[in-house]
Amino acid sequence: MLDLRQLRENPTLIEEGLLKRGLKVDLTSLKKDIEKLRNLEQQRSELQSEGNLIGKEVGQQIRNGSKPNSKEILFLRNKGNEIKKKVALLEEEEKTLSKKIKSIILHYPNIPYKGCPEGKDDSANKLIRKWGHPKKDENYKEHWQIAEKLKIIDTERSVRIAKSRFATLFNQGARLERALINFMLDIHTSKGYIEVLPPALINTASLKGSGQLPKFEEEIFRCSEDNLWLTPTAEVPLTSLHRDEIIPFNSLPLKYVAYSPCFRREAGSYGRDTKGLIRLHQFNKVELYWFTNADRSKESHQQITADAESILQALELPYRVIELCTGDLGFSASCTYDLEVWLPGSNAFREISSSSNCDDFQARRSSIRTKQGKQTNLVHTLNASGLAIGRTMAAILENGQQKNGHVKIPEALVPYFGEKELKPQ
């Protein structure tokens, strides 16, 4: 959530930041409301102070011998009651105005950081680095074609069970999925991450805190009778682990890793990636999440990105790192690196991880702070896929495909999978 003080004191800076993201807004009216809210708070505070002084005066006069029903005491008490009525009216006006302001700013995305590449769409994204040697051959098959021959994925039966864009894994496919989850969790916990297995059903406050609501309501599956939602990513429950808390400064950075099933409607992707594991309504993911202080925010972003990259390197999967431009940033992010893995069957790089620094945006929405001495500040939050399991499986199938129809398993994954190859059964 955007900073109310900054909106009040420097709305032009906010307008310029939003414009870089392609949003042209006029914050004049919002600024007036924020200023009015501050004046209301000041009036209420002054009246409450006056009321407290009257209460002390009443007590003092009674102790000095005045009778409780004397004219002086009754006058003071009537005056105090009038102040209480005024305070109550101001509090109600504050509550209404505060709700109005919050409902507006909850729809505004984070401001890009100063060095973020400027551009309207992904054509302005910036290549940071590449790793590995992409295989290129027109005879390479796509992962869903390989999976069908290996009989490890069945989408037709999934439609019978649920609907389209769900996948059921069998035999080696199910085992490979499980192996990847365990492999990733072990790698990350060996680096000091705390493993978490969060609920898959989450409340509205959690989604608002991380930035998914109210903006992306149509993308999330909802259990309306219970007012719960299916988590779109473990980023959401991990953000809320410390909602409304003060994290001790010496505990930072807090680094979490979580496996979770993820559920998304993919409402805006009709007709795209209808086959295979790239764009499903349900998929598994291992998520990395950091709480850190502002001074270490940038270096933390580099480290969480490197930790996500380490999985691709261990699996010997070629990839590239792309810095997203202002017009392509996610809602809560101020800076994002996408890791794009090479899929030789598609002859293209595809996103497999998004690593974002959200600075204090989510922390402000979730009221997550840290205290150093007498100073209390908002923490900074960072997240990265470490990695998306289905897309990792797709990359292994395409990069490991052999001419005899087998698929080579990356050496680091063999102890988890139990065999060196996937073979037709």
Coil/strand/helix, residue 337:
strand
Q: 15: exposed, middle or buried (C-beta count within 10 Å: 0-12, 13-18, 19+)? A: middle
Considering the domain architecture, whether residues 64 and 203 belong to the same structural domain is answered as no
Domain limit, last residue, from 105, 133, 160: 105
Residue 369 near residue 247, CB atoms below 8 Å: yes
**39 shares its domain with 67:** yes
251 contacts: CB under 8 Å, gap ≥ 6:
none
Same domain membership, residue 155 and residue 30: no
Q: What CATH number corresponds to the domain at position 14?
A: 1.10.287.40
The per-residue b/e assignment along 58-78, b for 16 or more CB within 10 angstroms, e otherwise, is beebeeeeeeeeeeebeebee
Whether the Cβ atoms of residue 200 and residue 231 lie closer than 8 Å to each other: yes
Same-domain pairing of 200 and 94: no
- Per-10-residue mean pLDDT of the chain, 425 residues long, equals 86 93 92 93 94 88 83 87 93 94 93 95 97 91 95 92 93 97 98 98 97 93 94 98 96 98 80 80 97 97 98 98 97 98 96 98 97 94 98 97 95 97 90
Q: Is residue 58 part of a domain?
A: yes
3-class SS of residue 37: helix
Domain boundary among 45, 72, 105: 105
pLDDT at 267: 64
Is residue 193 situated within a structural domain? yes
Domain match, 67 and 139 both: no
111 domain residue, yes or no: no
Residue 217: inside a domain:
yes
Q: Are residues 73 and 133 in the same domain?
A: no
The count of residues in the chain is 425
Same domain, 89 and 194: no
Q: Please check whether residue 115 lies inside any domain of the structure.
A: no
User: Are residues 361 and 402 located together in one domain of the fold?
Assistant: yes
Looking at 77, 105, 133, the residue that finishes a domain is: 105
Phi, psi of 263 (to 5 degrees): -130, 125
Residue 113 inside a domain? The answer is no
Domain shared by 209 and 151, yes or no: yes
Quote the CA–CA distance of 198 and 256 in Å, as a whole number.
11
Give me the number of domains the chain comprises: 2
Q: Which two tokens stand for residue 44?
A: 């209420």
Q: Is 114 a domain residue? A: no
Q: In this structure, are 22 and 72 located in the same domain?
A: yes
pLDDT at 1: 76
- Which residues 6+ apart lie within 8 Å of 417 measured at CB? 175, 176, 179, 409
What is the per-residue pLDDT for 223? 94
With b for 16 or more beta-carbon neighbours within 10 A and e for fewer, the 327-359 pattern comes to bbbbbbbbbbbbbbbbbbbbeebbebbbbbbbb
Please state, in angstroms and rounded to a whole number, the distance separating the CA atoms of residues 247 and 252.
8
- In three-state secondary structure terms, 103 is helix
CB count within 10 Å of CB 384 equals 27
CATH code of residue 129: 3.30.930.10
Print the domain residue range for 99. Answer: 4-105
How distant is the alpha carbon of residue 383 from its chain centre? 7
Tell me, yes or no, whether 110 lies in a domain. Answer: no
pLDDT at 55: 86
Kindly report the number of other CB atoms within 10 A of residue 374's CB atom: 5
Q: Kindly state whether residues 306 and 387 are assigned to the same domain.
A: yes
**Residues 144 and 290 placed together within one structural domain of the fold:** yes
SS3 28: helix
